[in-house]
Structure 1
Amino acid sequence: MILFLFLFMALAGANATAQSVGPAIWEIGEGDSTLLIMGSVHLFRSDIHWLDPEIRSRFEESTMLVVEVAYLEDMDEVTIRLVEERGFYPPGESLADEVGAELYERVMLHAEALGCGRREFSQLRPWLAVLVLTQLWAERHGYDAGAGVDVVFNRMANETGKPVWGLETIREQMDVLIEDLGSDPETMLEYALVQLDNGDYLDSLVEAWLKGDMRALEALLHESLADFPEMYELLIAARNRRWAGMIEMMLGDEHSQFVVVGAAHLLGPDNLLDLLRARGIRVVRQ
């Protein structure tokens, strides 16, 4: 989830084929050694229904939920601590000292449009500035991280006592945000502003995801990242390469896993599904 940062990239599926309409699910493996993978949209509108009987049934048949980050109840505590320790500039410094004047002004205009005070916002380090802008933009447009697909599955698992396992920890995700992406703050901020300027982008993603329209989702991913290959490598491809081996090891486990990852991980170069195929594992959309 990467703390719901760059959530406009939360696409679904890969490898367009003529399949049934609806959010996409893939079966991985063969015989008794199988698991299911579903792409998640991390931000969702609470008034949109997506959990159809087929998806619910496949989830209920599983014995373990696998998500990017388990123990979401710890997220607030970890995030608050990191914000306090690493989210603000010391006295006498500001965002204006770290990025160019033109980009700084664009960031400030977005912040003001979303109700933030210029002086206060300038004290946020780039990674925190992006998080705040993204959250405020999403709220203004009716989207809620609490209604995200992975969060809904987490809630359902907790209610039924189904074990939940994470591919990463929240601190590992924060390290990608603060250390890796944070090493190039101008690119990180520029990417975020491009997404914020495209007001229809998230609506288009959700509509395509609900239909299981792989071609549309692939096109949206390309549109989002064509000018930011380094973002794709850090946020998506590098993590996919780590996860592919972890998911392969799950095959043959005593549990029947239902895996839910941000659906951009199932699209584009080095997508998770193709990496599994390259390991000789059968991948079939259901």
Structure 2
Amino acid sequence: MDKGTLPREFRRAARAGLHDGPTAGYCEGYVQANLMILPREYADDFEKFCRLNPRACPLLAVGDAGSWALPTLGDDLDVRTDVPRYTVYRNGKYSESLTDLTGIWREDLVVFALGCSFSFEHLLLRNGLPVRHIELGGSAPVFVSNIDNLQSGPFGGKLAVSMRPFNAAQTIKAIEITSRYPQVHGAPVHFGDPREIGIADVRQPDFHGLSVVRKGEFPVFWACGLTPQVAVMAAEIPFAIGHAAGHMLITDLSIDTLLS
């Protein structure tokens, strides 16, 4: 699929099973979203969790119970089919990977869409900054840090972070660019020695991604929208669905509308 495909066409391709890979680099200029889908009984606690941890969980939209539509993000959007791949959790453990949720959809499910850092990567590229995982044709590596999230009900756990390597001058520029977009994670939460945030080996991400740090570079970490999935695993709730790591919902929102 062409990287310049518009969001509606991208979602239709995912819906038809024509694209089940990562979304980094696709639909330049449009907001990509992380998903968390939970039974209604957990929705209030999870929404509060997002409000308490906005760097990792910037809320873009919350659906009605049983609804797969998010009209503020796309008028034809169907969260059951329009993400290339999903991860299902049962009792806090990985259960299965799916490309279509229609067979397991329930009337009590509530959809949360959260901003994703893939949304600003074209701005980094436009300003001459490398984005290593796009260069290598994959997805950003994600690690579980030692930073505690603020707790809400059963949801807590540790902060997940995505990594992009830069040299010192590039890091300063990346901070300047991304800090203007808090609804897609904003500025980095850490750069430099990964051991300071509990990451022993930057070559071994906890969620699959391409992690290559070259001479003269150091790792730069952003809060990541996989944090809710870490929280769901820690909470061991009976059932939950998230996007598969690196496989986002691409919305019709322009990144320019989120500029602060």
- TM-score, normalised to structure 1's length? 0.24
- Considering fraction of residues, name the structure with more helix: 1
- Considering fraction of residues, name the structure with more strand: 2
Instruction: Select the structure with the greater relative contact order (CA < 8 A; seq sep ≥ 6).
Output: 1
Q: Which structure has the larger Rg?
A: 1
- TM-score, normalised to structure 2's length? 0.25
